[in-house]
Amino acid sequence: MHFHLPKPLHGWRDFAGEVGIIVVGVLIALGAEQVVASIHDRRLADETRASIKQELQTGLASLSFRRDAEPCIGRRLGEVRQLIDGWGRTGSFKTPRWIGAAPRLGVSVPRYEAASAAGRLALLSSDEQFRFGTVVAGLRTFQDTQVGEASEWAKLRELGAGPEALSATDRSVIRAALQEASMLDYNMRTATIQYLALAADYGLHPDFQAFHARARLTWKTGRFEPTVCSAIDTPPAVANANAVVGLAE
């Protein structure tokens, strides 16, 4: 038994030509689709890059302001140490009117986190992903350290109760808080210097304009004025004058 393939109406040569045209058309369509997808991905990558860069540079402004506040923080920690040392020697100390706290400057990276969750970071080069990730890690460490500092400075402010209201046990607790606050401040001083320098190497610099746009949520004048810079004998009402929400002593 013999099987015969049906012949194309106009011959095999014409048939092959028609198939070739169809194949070429499909390839052109697929290529065009890839070009469109590539253009879309590039646009999305540019938007993601710009959004994350702005967010990180706003966060870097917080690191810069923290670095500027370091002289005040170091001076206050030194004054507290003198009070505690004198308390241990004499059993008393001059009650401070104002201890304050290390400034707490909000840092968050919701745009970076959203881009990561949506898979958009994969549109960036591996080098960009590494650089952004490194700066994000620094900002998160900065934020976590601020949380730890807030707890220790709250203990230091117990000195405002005066020697008559505090016991030897309280003195031990406050001394331990001073040591922890000093260590956390050391970490902050080194971290701000290192991460600001590293970010600059990556082409990222503090964006003070974005920072000041929301500064009035914390300071009435819109200017960064850490209360820890107020003298230790400053009345609380004066030290808190520029704060939207005053720090309780």
Asked whether 133 and 204 are in contact (CB, 8 A), the reply is: no
Domain-located, residue 175: yes
Q: Which domain holds residue 71?
A: 12-239
Contacts of residue 1, Cβ cutoff 8 Å, sequence gap at least 6? none
Q: How far is 156 from 150, CA to CA, in rounded Å?
A: 10
Q: What is the pLDDT of residue 160?
A: 95
**Is residue 224 included in any domain, yes or no?**
yes
- What is the number of domains present in the chain? 1
For residue 246, tell me if it sits in a domain.
no
Q: State residue 219 phi and psi, 5-degree precision.
A: -120, 130
Residue 137 lies in a domain: yes
Would you write out the chain's pLDDT as a tens digit for each of its 249 residues?
555 555 555 555 665 566 666 666 665 655 555 544 456 568 999 999 999 999 999 999 999 999 999 999 999 999 999 999 999 999 999 999 999 999 999 899 999 999 999 999 999 999 999 999 999 999 999 999 999 999 999 999 999 999 999 999 999 999 999 999 999 999 999 999 999 999 999 999 999 988 788 888 888 888 888 999 999 999 999 999 988 888 876
Query: What is the reported pTM?
Result: 0.81
Q: Is residue 2 part of a domain?
A: no
pLDDT of residue 38: 58
**Residue 110, amino acid:** P
Q: How far apart are CA 198 and CA 134, in angstroms?
A: 9
Q: Which long-range contacts (CB under 8 A, 24 or more apart) does 199-204 make?
A: 199/56, 199/60, 199/135, 199/138, 202/131, 202/134, 202/135, 204/53, 204/56, 204/57, 204/60, 204/131, 204/135
The answer to whether residue 228 is domain-embedded is yes
The answer as to whether 3 is a domain residue is no
Residue 247 lies inside a defined structural domain of this protein: no
Q: Give whole-number Cα distances, 32 to 38, 192, 214, in Å.
A: 10, 48, 45
